Amino acid sequence: MMDRSRTHRTRRLAAASLAALVATAAAMAPFSLATLAWAGELAATSGASAGALASALPAASTGASGITEPAVGWINTSRLPLLVALVIICGSVIAGILLARSGRPLRIRRLAALDAVDEAIGRATEMGRSVLFVPGIQDMTDIQTVAGVTVLGRVAKTAAEYDARLEVPTSRSIVMAAARETVQAAHFTAGRPETYNESNIFYITDEQFGYVAAVTGKMVREKPAACFYMGAFYAESLLFAENGNSIGAIQIAGTAEPSQLPFFVAACDYTLIGEEFFAASAYLSGERDQLGSVKGQDFGKLFIAAAILIGCALATAAVFIPSLAGAAASFKAHLGG
């Protein structure tokens, strides 16, 4: 009884917070700035002093060199709109997590690429061939590499359960170290610590095409049955994918590099596109907190869509109502455009 009422209170609190956040966003960030700017424009036009209004808006000092110098002090006021947007988006993610913890049912659409992980590793086990995982060519400073390594943990756990050999060639030393920790943890989680072999996760070279040559050569010689490409890729994406095709491997890719997505989509069996890749770790874990963050992310998308629609409406209206032109320009400027 006590738990149910606490859950109910948490749920109400989270829902109220989320509603307040979205309402504040809608009222404050895009609309009120435009309204303030519009009011300022009208006031200036009618001869009234806009000094008070201007002083309320963030002003950047321009040095003699023409470079806009950052404001001194605790807050860089020229970046205030971005801070507001960040607070709203982060707040929506946190609110999503709170909602998930309150026990609210979560529906995340199925991602075919992730549902195929088990199938791919099972195929490799049946064929007696290895599984290849490529965590991208960037270092751990790139969030895509971090996301790739977290997906590696899930893949490694499944590979350990199926007793499939997983190989992870890396292009950065730190990524090798992180991947080793991750795969070892996965083997422990799967209850197969004795099957962990750290020599299966190895460093090749930082040089992009040297790494590509080594990995594609390995693919052609050893013919892994399943290939995972999860991380940041550049020109080597199609080289990997086509080589994987030539050896008959099932290929699952995920990247947030927009320019490489078409190559993976054309050549791989399954592809995680952009934000699907970042949601992959949450999806595979099944943990409520992580799934809640994915839901919260969607509210952030709604906020951005609202800002885009309001900006487009203002810009369109400004064509027909000249007095709105200043407001539209101010809206764009304050949102960093």
Partner 1 sequence: MDTNTHDRQGGGGGGSFLARLGGIDRRWIFLAMGLSIAIPILLKLRFPEVPGPMARATFDAIESIPEGSRVLLAFDYDPASAGELQPMANAMVHHCAARGHKIVFMALWPLGKQMADATIDDVLLEFHPNYAYGTDYVQLGYKAGNEAVVKLMATNLPQQYSTDAAGAALSSLPLVAGVQDLAAFQLIASISAGYPGAKEWVQYANSAAPEAFTLVSGSTGVQVSQLLPYYPAQMEGLLVAVKGAAEYEMLVTAKYPSADKPELLAERLGQGRVRMGPQLVAHLLMIGLIILGNVAMIAGRSRGGAR
Partner 2 sequence: MLQRTVPIAILSLSGLILMLAYFSPMTTSWGETVLEWFNILAAVAFVLGAGNLLAVNLEKISSRRPGWAYAGITLVSFFLMLGFGLLKVGAVPNPEHPDLHFAGSYDTAASPFGWTYEYVFSPLTATMFAMLAFYVASAAFRAFRAKNTESILLLGTAFVILLAQTAAGMFLTGWIPEDSMFAFLRLDWMKVAITEHIQTAGMRAITIGIALGVVATSLRLILGIDKSYLSRS
Residues in 37-66 at the binding interface with partner 1, rule: CB under 8 A = 65-66
- Side chain identity, residue 237: S
| Phi, psi for 222 (deg, rounded to 5) | -95, -15
User: Which residues within the stretch 1-60 sit at the binding site for partner 2 (CB under 8 A)?
Assistant: none
Q: State the minimum distance, in angstroms, from the CB of residue 276 to partner 2.
A: 8
Stretch that binds partner 1, among 93-101, 111-119, 165-173, 255-263 (CB under 8 A): 255-263
Structure-token match 């290939």, residue found: 227
Decide which of partner 1, partner 2, none touches 66; Cβ closer than 5 to 8 Å per partner kind: partner 1
Decide which of partner 1, partner 2, none touches 119; Cβ closer than 5 to 8 Å per partner kind: none
Q: State the minimum distance, in angstroms, from the CB of residue 248 to partner 1.
A: 4
The answer to whether residues 126 and 133 touch, using CB atoms and an 8 Å cutoff, is no
Give yes or no for residue 302 binding partner 2 (CB under 8 A): no
Decide whether 198 or 207 has the Cβ nearer to partner 1. 207
Give yes or no for residue 233 binding partner 2 (CB under 8 A): no
Pick the closest to residue 217 from 250, 239, 248, 201 (CA basis).
239
- For 25, 61, 332, the CA distances from 326, given in Å and listed in that order, are 22, 21, 10
Sequence-ordered list of residues with C-beta below 8 angstroms from that of 124, at least 6 positions apart, any chain: 130, 131, 162, 164, 224, 225, 226
Give yes or no for residue 217 binding partner 1 (CB under 8 A): no
Decide which of partner 2, partner 1, none touches 234; Cβ closer than 5 to 8 Å per partner kind: partner 1
d(CA 138, CA 146) in angstroms, rounded, equals 10
Query: Based on C-alpha coordinates, what's the Rg of the chain?
Result: 25
Report helix, strand or coil for 60.
Answer: coil
Which residues of this protein are in contact with partner 1, per CB under 8 A?
A: 65-70, 208-209, 234-235, 245-246, 248, 250, 258-260, 269
